Structure 1
Amino acid sequence: MLVAKIFGCRLVSRAKSPLASVILFAVLMYFMLVNSIISNISLEPTVFSHNKEDSQALQTLKVVRKTSSDVVLLPLPLTVPTQNKIIEVDNERRNSLASSLTGRKGHGVGKFRRKLPEYAIFKSDELTKKFHGRVLGFFNNRCEVHFFMTWISPVESFGRRETMAVESVFKSHPNGCLMILSRTMDSVRGYRLLKPLLDRGFKVVAVTPDIPFLVKNTPAEAWFNEMKSGKKDPGGIPLAQNLSNLIRLLVLHKYGGVYLDTDFIVLKSLKGLKNTIGAQSMDAASKNWTRLNNAVLVFDMKHPLVLKFIEEFALTFDGNKWGHNGPYMVSRVVGRFEGRGGYNFTILPPLAFYPVDWVKIGSLFKVPKDRAGSRWAEAKLQQLKGKTYGVHLWNKQSRKLQVEEGSVMGRLMAEHCVLCKNVYTPTS
């Protein structure tokens, strides 16, 4: 800057005419502007070079500005202490956002802002407005047990495996009532799939859920509004999976009853269970549970633990971590509230709902090859018939497996089906 000034003064002093002075003054201003730009570029990294963490924090703050519309926009020229204070206050939001952005790897926030509202499950229409009335009308005094399932996949995907799960409910609970929460199944084609059971007098219906109604006045209401408007990243895991995790909690909170996954084969009545969740795994030495699962939930209306599940789902949602909003979520909450007053509930051992781990589920689908295998199969059948309420099939792992005639699973399905058609056909 000093060089430019000296150089400019010399040029002006040598100018002999007004025109020359104007030209020289313009040249002077040009050099001063270039010099200023170069100085700013060279000084910017120098200001933050003494503190690498502050520089990284500033970059993070810039990301928050670009991606989160509910963060107050601040002018860029900030002193380092002010930036640190802002980042410290918004640390939890920043970490959550950074995690979501990292998981998506190149999928910008703008993409899910545009795409998310297109999900049919978020739509409100004349059908969803009838939801509450349909629930109350369906679950009446003639229902021995109230069951819920969710189905957010296309109706075409509701195959033999899912039908078998529905049949097993009525085999053990002929006077039970089952509601399948699903927009796709609440259709002509869905009705045709369920009609053979209806013709036999069983009470089953598919109903389109009204999510805005279900989340209203719950800890999930703000989460849902942010998700619907595109302000929250749904993550890389299919949104349907996480919506299923939430909807099951909301209907249990609102109405109470029994929730079952559509890959759960019921073996005996659940009527005697009350406020119950099952352990997926247990420590062999201590006999303490190590992980719970939410594939089967039995809770009264407005049970405080279910409300805590909903709260945890909304506050810690991460759409990039498998199980984070499902099995791991219920495990986190129960770990905090187990044994506390006012949270009366029962944790059943793995044998109750998850008698076979997901990595070993294939063994139930195969016919024994030798005498030792046959002895194991008979022992397993006796064990399941004695202490197990049902078997979770871990569909993601087993859906392509064929149920071999004479296998443990084949015998279980043959004993607990109602229509008993195509028992040995693999699901599509």
Structure 2
Amino acid sequence: MIFKSLVELGYRILLVTPDLYFLFENTPSKSWFIDLKNGKKDPGKIPLAQNLSNLIRLAVLYKYGGVYLDTDFIILKDFSRLRNSIGAQSVDRNGKWTRLNNAVLIFDKSHPLVYKFMEEFALSFDGNRWGYNGPYLVSRVVEKVKDYNFSVLPPRAFYPMNWVRIKGFFNAKNDSRWIEAKVLELNEKTYGIHLWNRQSKSMKIEQGSIIDRLISTHCVVCNDI
């Protein structure tokens, strides 16, 4: 239903079921996938779909280039000028990133950093540790590589609120002046907000909250929030 509404609004959408053998061909992912299919690789306790999602996004970006986005984002402004970029989830006091995230990946076709991500996935896969093959993976690789022609965006770009405090964006009980100032700041400095669905999926969007204000302005198919 949601896709029909978007198509009716003029958005060009194509839903596909990925051919994983074709997608992983000529990538470091192929041997890992074949071992998995043949029972030689333990998928672990984490749902396999989650780890396949981590890998599929890398393979698609490597073969075709473009933008990968998790679905739990509110996009606030155009970022089509961004190239070969990954977002920092957190930084230290000196502004150096301490954790990256793979919920937003923007890369050209055949970018060597994405290839390195796939190599790391195949070599160090651990299906029992949440995040190990996703946000922790991209953090491990970027920590080790140099001169790969990419940018690390500050948290305000896509992760202006961390998962521990995201509830504050759903809550209308905060100071109304703070909410007004924060909405203005987000609209000026942030490309999109990651909602951390694992934590926020059960939260109610309170009327007048930051999320309520942003959805009312930026959601293209939401009529009555």
**Same fold by TM-score, threshold 0.5 exceeded?**
yes
Q: Does 1:330 pair with 2:132?
A: no
Are residue 203 (structure 1) and residue 8 (structure 2) matched? no
Identity across matched positions, percent: 60
- 8 A Cα contact 1:368 1:377, kept in partner: no
Report Cα offsets for 1:242-271 as digits up to 9, x if no partner.
Answer: 110000000000100000001011110011
Alignment-derived partner of residue 167 in structure 2: 362
The structure carrying a bigger helix percent of its residues is 1
Partner of 1:310: 118
The answer to whether the aligner puts 1:414 opposite 2:221 as a matched pair is no
Contact 1:352/1:390, CA 8 A, preserved across alignment: yes
C-alpha distance in 2 between matches for 1:379 and 1:336:
38
RMSD: 1.0
What TM-score results when the alignment is normalised by the length of structure 2? Answer: 0.97
Counterpart among 87, 104, 128 of residue 320 in structure 1: 128
The amino acid that maps onto 1:344 is: N
Aligned pairs for 1:91-102 within 5 A: none
- Of 246-255 and 380-389, more deviation after overlay is shown by 380-389
Q: 8 Å contact 1:367–1:405 — kept in the other structure?
A: yes
* Pair 1:263 & 2:72 matched: yes
1:422: Cα distance to partner? Answer: 4.4
> How do 1:155-166 residues align onto structure 2 when only pairs under 5 Å count?
none
2:63 counterpart SS class: helix
1:274 to 49, 58, 83: 83
Deviations 1:277-316 (A, max 9, x none): 00000002x2100000000000000000000000001100
Tell me if 1:298 matches 2:103: no
Give the residue type in structure 2 aligned to 1:380: K
Aligned length: 225
CA distance in 1, matches of 2:10, 2:131: 37
Is 1:382 the counterpart of 2:184 in the alignment?
yes
1:238 is aligned, of 33, 37, 47, to 47
Cross-structure match for 2:31: 222
User: What are the within-5 Å matches in structure 2 for residues 24-43 of structure 1?
Assistant: none
Alignment of 1:68-107 (within 5 A): none
CA distance in 2, matches of 1:414, 1:203: 23
2:41 and 2:48 mapped to 1: Cα distance?
12
Cα distance in 1 for partners of 2:112, 2:34 equals 23
Gaps of 5+ in 2: none
Give the partner amino acid of 2:184: Q
Contact 2:74 2:219 in 1 (8 A): no
**Separation (CA, whole Å) in 1 of partners of 2:104 and 2:139:** 13
Paired amino acid for 2:199: Q
What is the alpha-carbon distance in structure 2 between the residues aligned to residue 399 and residue 421 of structure 1?
Answer: 20
Rg larger for = 1
What is the TM-score with the length of structure 1 in the denominator?
A: 0.52
Contact 1:366 1:408 in 2 (8 A): yes
Q: Structure 2 CA distance, aligned partners of 1:376 and 1:320?
A: 41
- In structure 1, runs of 5+ residues without a counterpart are 1-191, 424-428
Alpha-carbon distance, 1:348 to partner: 0.6
Describe the SS at the equivalent of 2:128. coil
- SS of structure 1 residue aligned to 2:15: strand
Q: Post-superposition shift, 1:368?
A: 2.5
Question: Which secondary structure does the structure 1 equivalent of 2:14 belong to?
Answer: strand
- Which residue of structure 2 aligns with residue 403 of structure 1? 205
